[in-house]
Amino acid sequence: MAKISAKDRRKKNEEVEKARGTELFSDGVLKFFRKELDIDIIAEYTALKDVAKIPADKLLDRMELMRAINSCSKNARAANKVFLKARAAREFYRIDFDRSLRDLTIRATENVDRWMADNDVKKKQITKDMVQQELSSDPKLSKEYTLLIEKREEMRSIKSDCEVLATEWSNRQWTLRAQAKLVAAEREVNLSSKE
DSSP codes, 60-123: G-HHHHHHHHHHHHHHHHHHHHHHHHHHHHHHHHHHHHHHHHHHHHHHHHHHHHHHHHHTTPPP
pLDDT value at position 98? 94
Please check the confidence at residue 5 and state whether its pLDDT lies above 70.
yes
> Do 13 and 69 lie in a common domain?
no
Helix (H, G, I), strand (E, B), or coil: what is residue 137? helix
> Do 23 and 65 lie in a common domain?
no
Average pLDDT of 84-110? Answer: 91
Average pLDDT of 89-96? Answer: 91
pLDDT value at position 69? 84
> Do 80 and 29 lie in a common domain?
no
Please check the confidence at residue 7 and state whether its pLDDT lies above 90.
no
> Do 56 and 90 lie in a common domain?
yes
> Do 166 and 185 lie in a common domain?
yes
Average pLDDT of 11-18? Answer: 69
> Do 171 and 91 lie in a common domain?
yes
Average pLDDT of 20-30? Answer: 58
Q: CA–CA separation, 52 vs 109, rounded Å?
A: 55
pLDDT value at position 97? 92
Please check the confidence at residue 194 and state whether its pLDDT lies above 80.
no
> Do 86 and 106 lie in a common domain?
yes
CB 73 within 8 A of CB 173: yes
> Do 89 and 147 lie in a common domain?
yes
φ, ψ of residue 3 in degrees (nearest 5): -80, 140
Q: Which domain holds residue 60?
A: 42-194
For the chain, the C-alpha Rg in angstroms (whole number) is 29
> Do 108 and 157 lie in a common domain?
yes
> Do 49 and 23 lie in a common domain?
no
Indicate left, alpha or beta for 123 from its phi (over 0: left) and psi (-120 to 50: alpha).
beta
> Do 26 and 69 lie in a common domain?
no
Q: CA–CA separation, 78 vs 47, rounded Å?
A: 10
Structurally, the chain folds into a number of domains equal to 2
39-73 tens-digit pLDDT: 777 777 777 777 666 666 777 777 888 888 888 88
Q: CA–CA separation, 107 vs 103, rounded Å?
A: 6
> Do 135 and 186 lie in a common domain?
yes
Burial of 68-82, coded b for 16+ CB within 10 Å and e otherwise, reads bbebbeebbebbbbb
